[in-house]
Chain A
Amino acid sequence: MKQATLTYKLMMAATGLFLCFFLVIHLLGNLQLLLPESEAREQFNWYSHLLSGNILIKIISYILYLSLIGHAVYALIITRKNIAANGSKYVYDKRSQVSAWNSRNMGILGTIILIFLIIHFKDYWYVYKFGHLPLDAKGNKDLYSIVITSFQQGWYIIIYELSFIALGFHLLHGFFSASRTLGLYHPKYSGAVRVFGWVYSLAITLGFMLIPIYIYFNLNAL
């Protein structure tokens, strides 16, 4: 069947919500970095090892890669079609007065997140999977040291913090928008989802923002 505008949006919503779910798990895992240093190293390395070995996690990680690619590819297709639908531009345009800027600029926010992800994958995912890491006392790859070392540089932290802010605004619109695409129209629950979206976006954003800052001010590279 020929895909309708609404089915494209359904794909965006489904992949987006899966990524939202993943962010929760990712943040919870990363919060282990905030434990006292002696515990954090072994715990975090053990956790990383657990994730990389488990078959269930492997399946989920493939869904994750597909969701990321799907979300970006569908966004591109949708944007192209929207540009075609707009036709000629307004000479004088003040339409931005009646909507929130993040809702209009999801593509730009998404692009910032995508660039961040390339850096993020290269520095941790690639290094962990294909690089030669030293081992910790328990014989697990010492990802912890890599993380602590990378967050000693101020510019690196700035890249992370700015990306998290972009992520926060993206989530703020994306979470609620997905609920509407899925068909939530009841005024009471629609409002509740919006509030939940606020809480969720704030918790995720602040949670991720806290970690690099905490490491920078509290831990020294070895």
Chain B
Amino acid sequence: MKLYLKVWRQEHKESKGNMVNYEVDGISAHMSFLEMLDLLNERLIGKGERVIEFDHDCREGICGACGMMINGRAHGPLTGTTTCQLHMRGFKDGETVYIEPFRATAFPVLRDLKIDRSAFDHIIQSGGYISASTGQAPESNSIPIAHEVTEAAFDAAACIGCGACVATCKNSSAALFTSAKISHLVLLPQGKLESADRVIKMVGQMDAEGFGHCSNTEACEVECPQEISVLHIGRMNYEYNKALLLKK
């Protein structure tokens, strides 16, 4: 099949970018979206042009590295899918496809479709951990945890940090990401111990990175490849309000 692509090209962080048109012929319906871009890049190399740069790693939908706006939607038109798991059979022959990087002030574009998501790392570094002395791994059954609790914590931990929630949010809020990390830890007995301190620090860092407010439109839950529930945002707010009230 043949597609008419409009791709965001930008030289570097400070330069102004623009949409560039490409006609791509000979696309197989079995290709993933990234493989379609690989095909285009091969041809660009053949012509001696600079390739379109984009983030990718595992290409099996579990790492969270890839992510772009495809036809105005984060990770493309499907819900619950990463860009690498989007296949060309979902597109029609002769269709025009717009490809842009995820946009937010906190996610500066480095080049083309590649963005800097260090802001997420800073949020994790600010409190997304459990303080523990190093040494031998403790006996795993010494702290009993109910099965539903581990499952609920794991549902939150499934967040791969791809940034689709921020990209799709009308306010570029990182509430879903941050709340998933907070929820994941606060559900477990080891994580509960530092919950107040953690939520204050992580929310503070989220703000410092320049993310917006959560308006509860719930678009993030729809676009999240891991289908992280917006109820985690409610839990983050609960933990935050509790910490504010009880803080000395």
Contacts and interface: CB of A to CB of B under 8 A. Distances in A.
B238 A87 contact: no
For the residues of A in contact with B, the DSSP-based class is helix
Interface string A84-121: 11111111111101111001101000000000000000
Contacts of A67: none
Interface string B162-186: 0000001011110000000000000
A82 B213 contact: yes
Interface in A164-193: 173, 176-177, 180-185, 187, 190
A28 B203 CA distance: 41
B76 to A, nearest CB: 10
Contacts of B1: none
A100 B19 CA distance: 29
B105 A86 contact: yes
A153 interface: no
A6 B103 contact: no
B206 to A, nearest CB: 7
A85 B173 contact: yes
Contacts of A92: 6, 69, 71-72, 98, 100
A49 interface: no
B174 to A, nearest CB: 9
> Which among B98, B206, B216, B235 has the highest number of chain A CB atoms within 10 Å?
B216
A100 B233 contact: no
B106 interface: yes
Contacts of B106: 85
B45 interface: no
B111 interface: no
A124 interface: no
B216 A176 contact: yes
Interface stretch (A7-15, A38-46, A209-217): A7-15
Given A87-B172, A92-B6, A98-B219, A183 B212 contact: no
B173 A173 contact: no
Contacts of A89: 103
Contacts of B168: 95, 98
Contacts of A87: 103-105, 172
A177 B210 contact: no
B124 interface: no
Interface of A: 4-10, 78, 81-82, 84-95, 97-100, 103-104, 106, 173, 176-177, 180-185, 187, 190
Interface of B: 6, 8, 19, 69, 71-74, 79, 98, 100, 103-106, 168, 170-173, 203-204, 206-207, 210-219, 222-223, 230-242, 244
7 contacts: A5-B213, A78-B213, A90-B72, A92-B6, A94-B73, A103-B216, A190-B231
